[in-house]
Amino acid sequence: MSKVPAVTDATFAQEVLASETPVLVEYWAEWCGPCRQVSPVLEELADDYGDRLRIVKMNSDENVVTAAAQRVMAVPTLQVFQRGELVASIVGAKPKRALAAELDRFVQ
């Protein structure tokens, strides 16, 4: 079972913007090869960060309203939200160490 739950246009505001915990959103698509590379890395990061960082995924083909509102132009795009504000955006697949270095800035 995945440790990275899905969010949708309908649940984005509650699950991401209203979260007290920092949230990493992965925008992905079924046809995206690099997205498949990032997925297991995000599962590992979900284990590593535990309750300090929430990681969710959003299918950008099925949730075009939020993807457009967040100006997602390519997948995978990873966005970090803190207290409802976008604080970081990472485009493209990155190795675990590089992602962790970016995320450590937002996690206590």
| Catalytic sites, residue numbers | 32, 35
Which helix or strand (DSSP H or E) is residue 90 part of?
strand 85-91
CB 54 within 8 A of CB 21: yes
Phi first, then psi, for residue 45 (nearest 5°) are -65, -35
Q: Which of 88, 74, 63 is nearest to 38 (CA)?
A: 74
Q: Exposed, middle or buried, 95 (CB in 10 Å: 0-12/13-18/19+)?
A: exposed
